[in-house]
C-alpha cells in the first residue's frame, strides 16, 4: 500500500512538472508545417491530409472549447492539448520504469515488499528516467505544438505500461482485461498515428516470458514472429484489407446488383460483426480461451479504429478543407493507403540511374461515376534495366541523383552498385537520419540548421572539445554566432552514459525485461528506418518519427540510477549509495537536459507562422485569388482563415493540390466569403483518369494563340483535336507554348487592377511562352481562370511559390509585399527576365501599416523555419522597396522604412545567405542618413563573415568539398560588402572588408572549374 501511494503520488508530480514546463513554453498560436492544417481541421471537424488522424482531431476539438469562442486563442488551447498528452506520457513512463525497477528487486509478486533503500532507488529511477525523457530535444519539440506525435507517444506509453500491469496480474482471474485494454488503445491509436503499433512485438515477448516457465531460443523467435504477424494483421488486415474487402463488396452490390452506394459496405459490416460474435460465442462454448481473447481483442481494435467513420461522415458534409474528398469507400481506401504520396520500394527496386524497359497495367483505380463505380485508370508498373534487392538509392526526383553521386563519391556516368546501396543505408539512413537524432537527444546538438550532410549544420556534439573537434574537422575557431546560439546544446555524453549503464545493468540483472525494452527500442527506431527508406534532402528534420525509440532508451536512463547505486554499494553503505546515485542521475539527466534545452524549446514568444499568413493575405486586394504552393505557406493560411476568420474574402488555392480532380472541383464552389473560382470547366472533363496530364507537342504554330482557344483544344473530345498514340488511343495535347490573352483595358481600369499612374502601360495583349512541357489540372485551372476572369478578381502568387509554377507569366507579376499580383502591364522587361516590378506605394503601405513580423526582432530564440525567411524580409521586402523609394526621390518614406526594418528585424545573424541579403537594406540606410544603424549592421555582419569563413575553411580542408556551399555564400558576401563600402565614407569598416577580401583573395583569383 505504501509503495502504491508513493508511486502514484510521485508519478503525478513528475507529470505535473513536465506539463507545467510545456504549458510555459507552448506556442501561443499555430506552428509551422502540419499544425495549421490540424488546428483548422480540428476546429471545424474537417479532413486533413492522408491518412488522417480523426481521433486526434476530435480530442483537440474538445480542447478548443476552452478558448471560450475567442478564435485567436483556439490554437493555444489545442497546443495545450499536446502539452497535456505529453505530461500524461511522462506519468506512464514513470510508472513503467518503477514497475521494471521493482521487478528487478523483488520480481513480479504483488505482495513482496521493497526495503526502504530499494523503494527510494525505485522512485528515483522513475523520476530520473521520466523527467529526462520529458526534456529531451525531440519529445519536447512535439509537446508544445498541435501535432499528432504527442498523443501518439501517450498511446505508446499507456500500452507498454498496461502490458506490465498484466504481467503482474497474469495469474489472477480477469487479468486478460488488460490485454483487451491494450487492444482498444491500439485501435484508438490508429486514429492518431500508426507508430504505436510498433510496440506489438515487445508485447508478444512479455506475454511469452510470462506464460512460459522456461524460455528457449526457438520459443522466443516464435513469439517474436507471432508479434510481427499480429502487427502485420493490424497494419494491413484491419486497417487496409478490411476496407478493401468492403470496397469490393460495394462494387459487386452497386455494379452487379444495381443497388445503391454503401449497401455492400453495410452487408460486409454485418457479416464481419456477425462472424466475430459467432466466433466469440463458439470460443466460450468450446472453452477456447486463446481464440476468445483474440476475437475480443479484434473487436476492440475495430471499435477503436471506428474513429475513422468521422472521415467519411464529414466528407459527406463537404467541409472547406476536405482532403481527397473520401465520401465513398474507394476514395476512402485510397485515402487510407496514402496513394497521393506513392510508395517507397522496400525489398526490391531500381537504382536511381535505372531506365525503364517495360510498363504494364497495374491495379485498377475505381471512382464513383453516376450510379456506378468505373475504372478511372490503372497504376502503371514499370520494369527497369537495373534493379537490386533492398533498394536504398532509388529516387530520380529533384536533385536526388546528384546527391547520391556526391555522397557516394560516384562519377557523372558511374553506375552505383549494391555496395553503394549499403553505404548509403548505413551512412545516411541509419547514421544521418537516425544516429544523429539519437545523439541529439542524449549527447548534444551543434545547432538547429537542417543538415544534408554538412559538418556545420545540424550535427551532434558533446561539449567535450577534443571529441567535437575530431568530429567536426579538427579546428577550434568556433564562431561567436555558434557559441551564443540557443540551439547549441551540450550534455557531455551524460544522459547517454547513464542510459548505457542502465542498459548493461538491466541485461545483467533482468535479461528478459531488458530484451523487451531493447526490442521496443529497435522496432521504434531502426525498424522505422528500414520501413521509411527515406530519400535525401528531406524538407524538414524527421526526428519526431523516432520518439518511441528515445522513450525506450529513457527507461534505461532511469535504470541507470540503479546501476550507479549498485556500483557504489561496493564502496559505501546502501543509503549513501542511493542518495548519490539519485543526485548523479538527476543532474546528468533531467537537470542538464532542461538547462540546455529550455531556451530553444521555449516557443512562448513565437507568432511568425500566423503573422506570415496574415501578411500573405494583407498583400492581397479584396476578393482576391491567392495561389500558394508549399506546406509552410498554405497551412498557416488555412488556419488564419478557418479559425481566426481573417480575410476570408481571399480564395487560397494550393497549387500542389490543384492537380487533383477532387481539389479542382472544390475550387469551383464558394467557400466562406470567397466566391468560386472562375474555372468554368465541366467537372466531367477533368475527373480522375480523364486529362490527368496533357503533354506538350510542338505543332510549329508560328503565331501566339489565345488561351481560350488552347483550352478548347485541350478540353475537346473531338478526335480531330487529339493525337493518336501507337496504341490507337486518342489523347489531348498542348500544341504550342506561345500563349496570348487579349486585355480588356476598360475592365482593367474599372476593377483598379493597376495603379492609376500605370494605366498608360496597360497592354492590348499579354503574350508569354508557357514554361513547362505538360499541363496538369493545376495549370489547366490557372489558364482557365486567366481566360475567364476578365480582371474582375485580383490574382496573386505568394512570394514563396516557385517560379516554374508561374507558367511563364513572370514579367506580368508585380510585387505588393508577400504576394505578386498579375497585371497586364509592360515596362520593357524581356521575356525570361526575372520579375523586378514593385508596386512601391502599395508595398510601402503594407509594410508600414499592415505587416507584422512574428516578434522576430525581440524573441530570444528564432527557429530555423522562421529565420530562413529573414533573407527575404531584409533583401526583398525591405531592401528592394527602400531602393525603389530612393530612386523615386522619396527619401522620407525610405527613411521610415529602414527604421521600421531596424526595429523589427533580429539583432543577430543566423545564416551566411541572410547576411548577404542585408546589403540592399544597408545601402538604403546609408543613403537616407541612418549611418549609425547601418554601421551597426555592417559591423555585426562582417564579424559573422570573418569568423564563419575561418570555420568553413578549416573544416573544408579536412572534410573535402562538404562545406564549399557555405564558403561560396561567404565569398559572395565579402564581395557584396566590399562593393558597398567602397561607395560610402566608412574607413574602419572598409578596412575590415578589404582585409577580408585580401584574406580570401586566392579563392577569387582561382579560375572557375
Whether the bond between 51 and the residue before it is cis, its omega within 30 degrees of 0, is yes
Q: For residue 453, what pLDDT is reported?
A: 65
| 523 located within any domain | yes
Do residue 43 and residue 84 come from a single domain? Answer: yes
Answer for the pair 900, 921: CB distance below 8 angstroms, yes or no: no
Do residue 48 and residue 169 come from a single domain? Answer: yes
| 162 located within any domain | yes
Do residue 73 and residue 140 come from a single domain? Answer: yes
- Tell me how many domains the chain contains: 4
Classify the phi-psi angles of 359: left when phi > 0, otherwise alpha if psi is within -120 to 50, otherwise beta: beta
Answer for the pair 42, 78: CB distance below 8 angstroms, yes or no: yes
Q: Residue 343 corresponds to which cell in the numbers above?
A: 510508395
Which has the closest alpha carbon to 924: 881, 954, 965, 964? 881
Q: For residue 983, what pLDDT is reported?
A: 87
Convert the pLDDT of each residue in 609-643 to its tens digit.
Answer: 999 999 999 999 999 999 999 899 999 999 999 99
Q: Residue 467 corresponds to which cell in the numbers above?
A: 571529441
* Neighbouring C-beta atoms of residue 207, cutoff 10 Å: 18
Dist. CA 243–CA 52, nearest whole Å:
15
Answer for the pair 98, 562: CB distance below 8 angstroms, yes or no: no
Which has the closest alpha carbon to 501: 581, 564, 444? 564
| 624 located within any domain | yes
Phi, psi (rounded to 5 degrees) for 213: -70, -40
Low-confidence ranges of the chain (pLDDT < 70): 1, 452-454, 472-476, 829-836, 956-965, 1005-1009
Q: For residue 1009, what pLDDT is reported?
A: 43
CA 856, chain centre distance (Å): 22
Do residue 896 and residue 949 come from a single domain? Answer: yes
Q: For CA atoms 470, 473, 476, 482, give the dihedral sign.
A: negative
Three-class SS state of 381: strand
Q: Which residue has the cell 481483442?
A: 297
Do residue 561 and residue 685 come from a single domain? Answer: no
For helices 54-64 and 148-169, angle between their N-to-C axes, nearest 10 degrees: 110
Q: Which residue has the cell 523609394?
A: 885
Convert the pLDDT of each residue in 262-294 to its tens digit.
Answer: 999 999 999 999 999 999 999 999 999 999 999
Three-class SS state of 815: strand
Do residue 695 and residue 811 come from a single domain? Answer: yes
Containing structural domain, residue 258: 2-310+493-601
Three-class SS state of 376: strand
Cβ neighbours of residue 632 closer than 8 Å, sequence gap 6 or more? 32, 33, 609, 800, 865
Long-range contacts of 593-598 (CB under 8 A, 24+ apart): 593/132, 593/135, 593/136, 593/491, 593/495, 594/21, 594/131, 594/135, 596/444, 596/489, 596/490, 596/491, 597/135, 597/136, 597/137, 597/140, 597/489, 598/21, 598/25
Dist. CA 952–CA 163, nearest whole Å:
51
Give one DSSP letter per residue of 585-636, joined into a string. HHIIIIIHHHHHHHHHH--TT--HHHHHHHHHHHTSPTT-EEEE-SHHHHHH
Residue that terminates a domain, selected from 851, 884, 900: 851
Dist. CA 668–CA 359, nearest whole Å:
35
Answer for the pair 535, 425: CB distance below 8 angstroms, yes or no: no
| 447 located within any domain | no
E strand or H helix at 373, and its extent?
Answer: strand 372-384
Answer for the pair 395, 412: CB distance below 8 angstroms, yes or no: no
Dist. CA 953–CA 447, nearest whole Å:
19
Q: Which residue has the cell 525610405?
A: 894
Q: Which residue has the cell 522587361?
A: 829
Dist. CA 420–CA 440, nearest whole Å:
27
DSSP 463: S
Residues in the chain: 1009
- Residue 130 has, within 13 A of its CA and on its CB side, a CA count of 34
Do residue 280 and residue 352 come from a single domain? Answer: no
The beta strands (E) that lie in 707-764 are given as 723-724, 730-731, 733-734, 738-742
Residue that terminates a domain, selected from 416, 432, 452: 416
Dist. CA 26–CA 87, nearest whole Å:
13
| 318 located within any domain | no
Give one DSSP letter per residue of 513-529, joined into a string. HHHHHHHHHHHTTHHHH
Dist. CA 964–CA 758, nearest whole Å:
45
Q: For residue 981, what pLDDT is reported?
A: 92
Q: Are strands 733-734 and 730-731 parallel, antiparallel or unpaired?
A: unpaired
Cβ neighbours of residue 332 closer than 8 Å, sequence gap 6 or more? 243, 247, 311, 312, 315, 326
Three-class SS state of 670: coil
Do residue 737 and residue 845 come from a single domain? Answer: yes
Dist. CA 449–CA 456, nearest whole Å:
8
Do residue 593 and residue 622 come from a single domain? Answer: no
Q: For residue 831, what pLDDT is reported?
A: 53
3-state secondary structure 260-326: CCCHHHHHHHHHHHHHHHHHHHHHHHCCCHHHHHHHHHHHHHHHHHHHHHHHHHHHHCCCCCECCCC
Dist. CA 495–CA 597, nearest whole Å:
13
Cβ neighbours of residue 598 closer than 8 Å, sequence gap 6 or more? 21, 25
Q: pTM value?
A: 0.92
Do residue 140 and residue 92 come from a single domain? Answer: yes
Q: For residue 475, what pLDDT is reported?
A: 54
| 428 located within any domain | no
| 319 located within any domain | no
Q: Residue 905 corresponds to which cell in the numbers above?
A: 528585424
| 67 located within any domain | yes
* Neighbouring C-beta atoms of residue 40, cutoff 10 Å: 27
Dist. CA 673–CA 662, nearest whole Å:
21
Which has the closest alpha carbon to 472: 481, 486, 460, 490? 460
Answer for the pair 754, 761: CB distance below 8 angstroms, yes or no: yes
Q: For residue 1, what pLDDT is reported?
A: 57
Do residue 296 and residue 347 come from a single domain? Answer: no
Q: For residue 965, what pLDDT is reported?
A: 67
Do residue 566 and residue 516 come from a single domain? Answer: yes
Residue 798's DSSP bridge partners are 819
* Neighbouring C-beta atoms of residue 18, cutoff 10 Å: 29
Answer for the pair 820, 834: CB distance below 8 angstroms, yes or no: no
Residue that terminates a domain, selected from 601, 617, 647: 601
Q: For residue 830, what pLDDT is reported?
A: 60
For helices 987-999 and 964-982, angle between their N-to-C axes, nearest 10 degrees: 140
Amino acid at each position: 500500500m505504501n509503495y502504491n501511494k508513493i508511486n502514484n503520488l510521485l508519478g503525478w508530480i513528475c507529470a505535473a512538472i513536465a506539463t507545467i514546463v510545456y504549458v510555459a513554453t507552448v506556442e501561443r498560436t499555430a506552428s509551422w508545417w502540419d499544425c495549421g492544417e490540424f488546428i483548422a481541421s480540428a476546429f471545424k471537424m474537417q479532413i486533413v491530409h492522408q491518412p488522417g488522424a480523426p481521433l486526434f482531431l476530435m480530442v483537440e476539438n474538445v480542447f478548443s472549447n476552452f478558448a471560450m469562442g475567442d478564435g485567436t486563442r483556439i490554437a493555444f488551447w489545442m497546443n495545450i492539448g499536446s502539452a497535456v498528452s505529453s505530461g500524461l506520457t511522462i506519468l506512464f513512463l514513470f510508472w513503467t520504469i518503477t514497475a521494471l525497477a521493482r521487478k528487478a528487486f523483488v520480481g513480479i509478486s504483488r505482495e513482496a515488499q521493497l526495503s526502504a533503500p530499494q523503494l527510494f532507488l525505485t522512485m528515483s529511477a522513475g523520476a530520473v528516467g521520466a523527467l529526462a525523457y520529458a526534456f529531451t530535444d525531440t519529445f519536447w519539440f512535439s509537446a508544445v505544438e498541435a501535432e499528432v506525435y504527442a498523443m501518439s507517444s501517450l498511446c505508446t506509453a499507456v500500452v507498454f505500461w498496461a502490458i506490465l500491469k498484466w504481467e503482474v496480474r497474469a495469474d489472477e482471474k480477469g487479468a486478460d482485461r488488460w490485454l483487451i485494454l491494450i487492444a482498444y488503445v491500439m485501435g484508438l491509436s490508429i486514429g492518431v498515428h500508426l507508430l504505436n503499433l510498433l510496440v506489438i512485438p515487445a508485447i508478444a515477448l512479455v506475454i511469452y516470458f510470462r506464460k512460459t516457465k522456461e524460455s528457449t531460443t526457438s520459443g522466443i523467435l516464435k513469439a517474436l514472429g507471432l508479434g510481427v504477424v499480429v502487427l502485420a494483421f493490424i497494419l494491413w488486415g484491419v486497417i487496409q484489407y478490411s476496407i478493401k474487402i468492403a470496397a469490393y463488396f460495394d462494387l459487386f452490390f452497386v455494379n452487379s446488383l444495381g443497388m445503391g452506394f454503401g449497401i455492400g459496405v453495410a452487408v460486409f459490416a454485418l457479416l464481419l460483426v456477425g462472424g466475430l460474435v459467432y466466433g466469440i460465442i463458439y470460443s466460450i462454448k468450446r472453452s477456447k480461451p486463446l481464440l476468445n481473447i483474440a476475437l475480443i481483442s479484434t473487436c476492440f481494435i475495430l471499435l477503436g479504429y471506428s474513429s475513422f467513420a468521422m472521415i467519411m461522415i464529414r466528407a459527406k458534409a463537404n467541409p472547406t478543407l476536405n482532403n481527397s474528398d473520401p465520401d465513398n469507400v474507394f476514395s476512402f481506401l485510397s485515402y487510407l493507403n496514402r496513394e497521393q504520396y506513392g510508395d517507397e520500394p522496400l525489398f526490391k527496386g531500381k537504382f536511381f540511374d535505372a531506365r525503364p524497359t517495360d510498363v504494364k497495367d497495374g491495379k485498377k483505380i475505381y471512382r464513383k461515376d453516376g450510379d456506378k463505380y468505373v475504372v478511372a485508370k490503372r497504376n502503371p508498373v514499370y520494369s527497369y534495366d537495373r534493379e537490386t534487392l533492398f533498394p536504398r538509392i532509388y529516387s530520380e526526383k529533384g536533385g536526388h541523383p546528384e546527391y547520391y553521386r556526391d555522397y557516394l563519391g560516384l562519377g557523372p556516368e558511374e553506375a552505383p552498385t549494391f555496395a553503394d546501396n549499403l553505404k548509403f543505408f548505413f551512412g545516411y539512413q541509419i547514421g544521418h537520419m537516425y544516429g544523429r537524432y539519437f545523439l541529439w537527444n542524449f549527447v548534444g546538438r551543434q545547432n538547429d540548421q537542417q543538415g544534408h550532410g554538412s559538418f556545420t549544420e545540424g550535427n551532434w556534439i558533446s561539449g567535450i572539445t577534443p571529441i567535437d573537434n575530431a568530429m567536426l574537422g579538427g579546428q577550434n575557431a568556433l564562431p561567436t554566432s555558434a557559441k551564443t546560439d540557443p540551439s547549441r546544446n551540450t550534455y557531455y555524453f551524460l544522459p547517454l552514459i547513464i542510459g548505457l549503464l542502465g542498459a548493461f545493468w538491466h541485461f545483467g540483472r533482468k535479461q528478459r525485461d531488458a530484451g523487451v525494452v531493447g526490442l521496443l527500442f529497435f522496432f521504434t527506431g531502426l525498424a522505422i528506418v528500414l520501413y521509411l527508406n527515406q530519400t535525401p534532402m528531406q524538407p524538414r528534420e524527421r526526428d519526431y518519427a523516432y520518439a518511441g525509440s528515445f522513450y525506450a532508451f529513457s527507461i534505461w536512463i532511469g535504470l541507470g540510477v540503479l546501476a550507479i547505486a549498485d556500483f557504489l554499494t561496493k564502496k559505501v553503505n546502501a543509503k549513501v549509495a542511493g542518495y548519490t546515485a539519485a543526485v548523479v542521475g538527476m543532474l546528468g539527466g533531467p537537470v542538464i537536459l532542461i538547462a540546455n534545452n529550455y531556451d530553444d524549446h521555449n516557443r512562448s514568444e513565437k507568432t511568425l507562422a500566423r503573422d506570415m499568413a496574415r501578411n500573405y493575405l494583407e498583400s492581397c486586394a479584396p476578393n482576391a485569388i491567392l495561389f500558394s504552393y508549399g506546406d509552410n505557406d498554405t497551412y498557416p493560411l488555412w488556419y488564419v482563415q478557418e479559425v481566426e476568420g481573417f480575410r476570408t474574402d481571399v480564395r487560397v488555392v494550393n497549387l500542389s493540390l490543384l492537380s487533383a480532380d477532387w481539389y479542382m472541383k472544390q475550387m469551383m464552389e464558394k467557400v466562406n466569403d470567397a466566391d468560386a473560382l472562375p474555372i468554368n470547366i465541366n467537372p466531367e472533363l477533368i475527373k480522375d483518369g480523364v486529362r490527368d496530364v496533357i503533354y506538350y507537342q510542338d505543332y510549329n504554330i508560328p503565331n501566339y494563340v489565345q488561351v481560350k482557344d488552347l483550352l478548347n483544344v485541350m478540353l475537346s473530345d473531338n478526335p480531330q483535336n487529339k493525337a493518336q498514340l501507337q496504341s490507337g488511343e486518342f489523347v489531348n495535347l498542348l500544341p504550342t507554348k506561345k500563349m496570348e490573352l487579349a486585355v480588356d483595358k476598360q475592365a482593367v481600369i474599372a476593377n483598379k487592377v493597376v495603379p492609376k499612374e500605370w494605366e498608360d502601360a496597360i497592354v492590348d495583349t499579354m503574350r508569354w511562352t508557357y514554361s513547362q512541357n505538360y499541363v496538369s489540372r493545376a495549370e489547366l485551372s490557372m489558364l482557365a481562370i486567366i481566360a475567364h476572369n476578365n480582371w474582375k478578381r485580383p490574382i496573386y502568387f505568394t512570394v514563396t511559390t516557385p517560379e516554374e509554377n508561374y507558367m511563364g507569366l513572370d514579367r506580368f507579376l508585380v510585387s505588393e509585399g508577400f504576394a505578386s499580383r498579375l497585371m497586364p502591364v509592360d515596362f520593357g522587361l524581356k521575356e525570361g527576365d526575372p520579375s523586378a516590378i514593385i508596386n512601391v506605394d502599395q508595398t510601402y503601405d503594407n509594410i508600414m501599416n499592415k505587416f507584422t513580423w512574428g516578434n522576430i526582432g525581440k524573441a530570444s530564440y528564432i527557429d530555423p523555419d522562421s529565420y530562413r525567411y529573414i533573407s527575404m524580409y531584409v533583401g526583398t521586402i525591405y531592401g528592394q522597396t527602400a531602393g525603389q523609394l530612393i530612386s523615386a526621390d522619396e527619401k522620407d518614406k525610405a527613411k521610415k522604412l529602414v527604421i521600421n526594418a531596424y526595429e523589427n528585424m533580429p539583432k543577430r545573424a543566423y545564416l551566411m545567405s541572410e547576411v548577404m541579403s542585408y546589403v540592399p537594406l544597408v545601402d538604403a540606410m546609408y543613403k537616407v542618413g541612418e549611418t549609425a544603424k547601418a554601421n551597426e549592421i555592417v559591423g555585426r555582419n562582417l564579424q559573422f563573415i570573418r569568423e564563419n569563413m575561418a570555420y568553413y575553411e578549416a573544416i573544408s580542408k579536412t572534410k573535402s568539398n562538404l562545406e564549399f556551399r557555405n564558403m561560396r555564400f561567404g565569398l559572395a558576401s565579402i564581395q557584396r560588402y566590399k562593393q558597398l563600402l567602397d561607395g560610402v565614407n566608412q574607413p574602419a569598416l572598409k578596412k575590415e572588408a578589404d582585409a577580408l577580401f585580401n584574406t580570401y583573395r586566392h579563392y577569387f583569383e582561382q579560375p572557375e572549374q
